[in-house]
Amino acid sequence: MVADNIYSPLGRNTRDNIDALKQGRSGIQLHSGNLSSGPFYASLFDATYKMEDESKTFFEQIVLASAMDAMNQADIRQPDNRTGFILSSTKGNISLIENPQGKSYPENKIALHTSASVVARELGFNSEPLVVSHACISGLLAMITGMRLIQAGLYDTLVITGADLITTFIFSGFLSFQAISRNPCKPFDAERDGISLGEAAATVVLSANKRPEAVLLSGGSVSNDANHISGPSRTGEELWLAIRRSLEQAGIDAKEIDFISAHGTATRYNDEMEAKAIHLASMEKIPLNSLKGYYGHTLGAAGILESIVTIHSMKENILFPTLGFSTPGTELPVNVVKKISKSDLHRTLKTASGFGGCNAALIMIKD
C-alpha cells in the first residue's frame, strides 16, 4: 500500500484522523433529527462537509474527496489502462429513495455501478470500475480483491475507496434488530449493548511496485458461517477458517502476529464470536483493539478505514486503545488494548464480519 486517505467526522485526511486518535477524540456525538424519533449516538458528517457540486450526490462527493487525496499522494495524475478503481459500499445512494421531494436524480443513480462510473470518470480512469458490496466485510473484501488482481498481473495499481452514509433506511434496519446502543458503543465490554453507526470514506492505493516505506498485503481470505441471515456463528469456527487461510497465504504462524485490528461492533453476539475465533487461532494473548468507539460502524468504509489506521499504527509502532472498553465482557477473554502505548509492530491481522454470516481476514506486513 503506497497511499491512503481517511475522510471522516474526525478529519479530511489520514494525518488529522491519526492525530485525533492520539488525543482520544471520538466522532460519536449525541444527535437528534430525521434518522430517529429520539436522540441517538452516531458519528456523522456536519454541514461543513457539504459541497457545492449539485451534479453529484453527497455519497459520490465523499468518495471523490477521499480518492483524489490518496491519488495525489501516489502521484497518479492520469490513470492508464493498468490502473483500476474499486468502490466498496453497502448501500451507496440508498438515501435517494427516502426523499422523493428532494433534488431529482436519474433513476439509475441508486445503482452502485452508476456511482462507481461517475467517480471513475471524474478521476480520469479509462478502465471499467469494479464494485464490491458484501455487507460489512465489503471494505476488507475490496482490499483482498485488489491484492489478488495485482498478484494475478491484471493491474499494476488499484485505487480502492469504501464509503457509506447513514440514512433512515440503514438506521431503522439496525434498530429493528435492537442492535443500536443507547450510548456510545463499548466493544468487548461487559456492558456493551449494541453498535454506534458512523459515516466515512476511506481510500487505499495498492501498487505492484514495492516501495521501501510501504506496508504489504500478504494474505487474505473470506468465509461464511451458513448460520443465520443476521446472527453470527456461535462457535467462531468460520472466522477462524478465514484467519487460518490468511496466515497460510502469508506464510507465517499465528504466534508471529503482533497485533489484531478486530471488527468489534460492540453487539453481544459479534464480539463473543470474534473472541472465540481468536482463541481457536491461539491468538488470545495478542493485543487487540476495535476502532468503533472512535468512528462508529462505518459499514462499507470500515474495513478500509480500520486497515489504514492499522498501517499507520505499524509505521509509528503505536497501539490505540479500544474506546469505551473497561471490563472484559466475552466468555473467552482476549487481550483488549486499554490505553495508548508503544509496541514493535511488524505483522498484523485485520478481521471483519457481516450480515449473512460473511467473514474476512487480512494479513499486513512491514519489513
Task: Please identify every residue annotated as catalytic.
Answer: 136, 263, 297
Residue 216 contacts by C-beta under 8 Å, 6 or more apart in sequence? 1, 210, 364, 365, 366, 367
Residue 13 contacts by C-beta under 8 Å, 6 or more apart in sequence? 5, 6, 7, 69
- Write the DSSP symbol of residue 299: G
- Adjacent-strand bridge partners of 159: 85, 205
The whole-angstrom separation of Cα 305 and Cα 160 is 11
* Cell 509502532, residue located: 317
User: From the DSSP assignment, how many helices (H) and strands (E) are in the chain?
Assistant: 9, 15
Q: For the chain, first and last CA: distance in Å?
A: 13
Residue 272 contacts by C-beta under 8 Å, 6 or more apart in sequence? 330, 331
Q: Kindly list the distances between the CA atom of residue 136 and the CA atoms of 162, 230, 353, in Å, as whole numbers in the listed order.
A: 11, 11, 6
Cβ atoms of residues 238 and 223 within 8 Å: yes
For residue 306, give the C-alpha cell: 480500520
| Closest CA relative to residue 120, chosen from 43, 64, 66, 175 | 64
| Closest CA relative to residue 116, chosen from 138, 92, 144, 87 | 87
- DSSP for 222-245 reads EEE--S-SSSPPSS-HHHHHHHHH
* Cell 468460520, residue located: 238
Residue 154 contacts by C-beta under 8 Å, 6 or more apart in sequence? 84
